[in-house]
């Protein structure tokens, strides 16, 4: 039996991993294997993707790593191979069989699942949660065992603060970890769920999600803060500047005839786009002013 990783004997260091990989695999029935509860859904894209690296455990015909249980076997590594084989009707597959306690199985899943890109952020977060809550390990102890800094583990654990619908979206790869971490900046649970749904519907990139969150966070700050100029909400204009520049680039790539110019003077940033619209007279001009208008005499903004 492998040593207990919670005792600090480095079971998941490089030597121990090589020891697991060097064991002789045996053929076991695929129907006797169950995947862990938080494993990613068996999507076609996940099964098709190849794990990185070389060696006998990452090839087209790989080797599973399983844990012996009273009911059969629990899959710890090799999800892609297992799902692909099961879908093709294969009845047995080669597997390295380990006898592990639960805490040891969690560490093996963390290390091998991560190395083969089979561990989604939510499953990883829940493993950390079990190790700290159920087995009393500190984040620093976990990091020492798997070679990660404490802040990385803390950031993963924060994903568990998100609403269940969003967590399921992470597990099923509807959104990525970067999308989810952007949502954590919002305090309103209903707003987080609304933005999550909009992100899935419109297939936002991580950058688009971050921009949407920044805008919503700014609006909420304006509502809560009295006697403050509205411009104070937008402390960093670079988010909006880059968005406007991107729009201008898309217009040019689309073949529109337009002139783009930027000016910065006296604390004011002006972004101009002059578009030639055929059949509609002279080109129009859109202006984005770094200062928000404060009345009828303010600059025109878009």
Neighbours of 238 (CB within 10 A): 7
What's residue 238's pLDDT?
Answer: 66
Pairing of strands 64-69, 92-98: parallel
How confident is the model at residue 237, as a pLDDT?
66
The reported pTM is: 0.65
CA distance from start to end of the chain:
66
Q: Give the other-Cβ count within 10 Å of 222's Cβ.
A: 15
Composition of the chain by helix, strand, coil, percent to 5: 50, 15, 35
Q: Is 255 helix (H, G, I), strand (E, B) or coil?
A: coil
Report the candidate in 79, 64, 77 with the shortest Cα–Cα distance to residue 26: 64
* 172 phi-psi bin (left φ>0, alpha ψ -120 to 50, beta other): alpha
Beta strands 33-34 and 72-77 are parallel
What is the predicted pLDDT for the residue at 136?
Answer: 93
Assess contact for 194 and 183: CB atoms under 8 A.
Answer: no
What is the three-class DSSP state of 1? coil
| Residue 259: per-residue pLDDT | 82
Strands 92-98 and 268-275: unpaired
For residue 236, what pLDDT is reported?
55
* Predicted local distance difference test score (pLDDT) of residue 279: 53
Say what the alpha-carbon torsion angle 151, 156, 158, 164 is, to the nearest 10 degrees. Answer: 180
Residues of the chain with pLDDT under 70: 1-18, 44-45, 47-61, 219-239, 266, 278-302
CA dist., res. 246 & res. 53, Å (int): 36
User: What is residue 22's predicted lDDT score, i.e. its pLDDT?
Assistant: 78
Provide φ and ψ at 69, rounded to 5°. Answer: -130, 165
Tell me the HSE value of 51 on the side-chain side, using a 13 A CA sphere: 26
Count of CB atoms within 10 A of residue 204's CB? 19
3-class secondary structure, 121: helix
8 Å CB contact between 129 and 160: yes
Would you give the DSSP letter of residue 205?
-
17: its two tokens? 């991993």
CA distances to 36, 85, 92, 207, 272 from 82, rounded to whole Å, are 13, 5, 10, 34, 56
Is 138 within 8 Å of 132 (Cβ atoms)? yes
Phi, psi angles (nearest 5°) of residue 136: 70, 25
């Amino acid at each position: 039996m492998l040593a207990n990783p919670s005792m600090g004997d480095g079971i998941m260091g490089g030597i121990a991993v090589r020891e697991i990989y060097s064991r002789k695999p045996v053929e076991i029935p695929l129907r006797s294997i169950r995947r862990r509860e938080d494993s990613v859904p068996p999507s076609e894209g996940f099964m098709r993707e190849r794990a990185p690296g070389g060696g006998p455990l990452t090839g087209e015909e790989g080797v599973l790593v399983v844990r012996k249980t009273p009911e059969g076997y629990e899959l710890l590594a090799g999800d892609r191979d297992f799902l692909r084989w099961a879908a093709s009707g294969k009845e047995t597959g080669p597997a390295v069989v380990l006898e592990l306690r639960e805490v040891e199985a969690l560490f093996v899943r963390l290390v091998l699942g991560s190395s083969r890109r089979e561990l989604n952020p939510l499953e990883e977060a829940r493993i950390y949660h079990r190790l700290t809550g159920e087995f009393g390990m500190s984040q620093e102890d976990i990091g020492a065992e798997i070679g990660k800094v404490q802040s990385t583990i803390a950031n993963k654990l924060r994903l568990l603060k998100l609403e269940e619908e969003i967590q399921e979206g992470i597990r099923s790869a509807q959104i990525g970890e970067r999308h989810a971490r952007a949502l954590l900046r919002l305090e309103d649970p209903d707003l987080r769920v609304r933005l999550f749904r909009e992100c899935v519907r419109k297939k936002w990139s991580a950058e688009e999600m971050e921009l949407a969150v920044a805008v919503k966070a700014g609006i909420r700050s304006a509502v809560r803060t009295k006697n403050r100029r509205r411009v104070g909400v937008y402390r960093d204009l670079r988010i909006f500047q880059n968005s406007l520049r991107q729009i201008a680039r898309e217009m040019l790539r689309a073949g529109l005839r337009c002139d783009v110019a930027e000016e910065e003077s006296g604390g004011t940033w002006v972004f101009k786009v002059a578009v030639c619209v055929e059949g509609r007279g002279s080109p129009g001009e859109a202006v984005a002013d770094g200062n928000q208008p404060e009345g009828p005499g303010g600059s025109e903004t878009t």
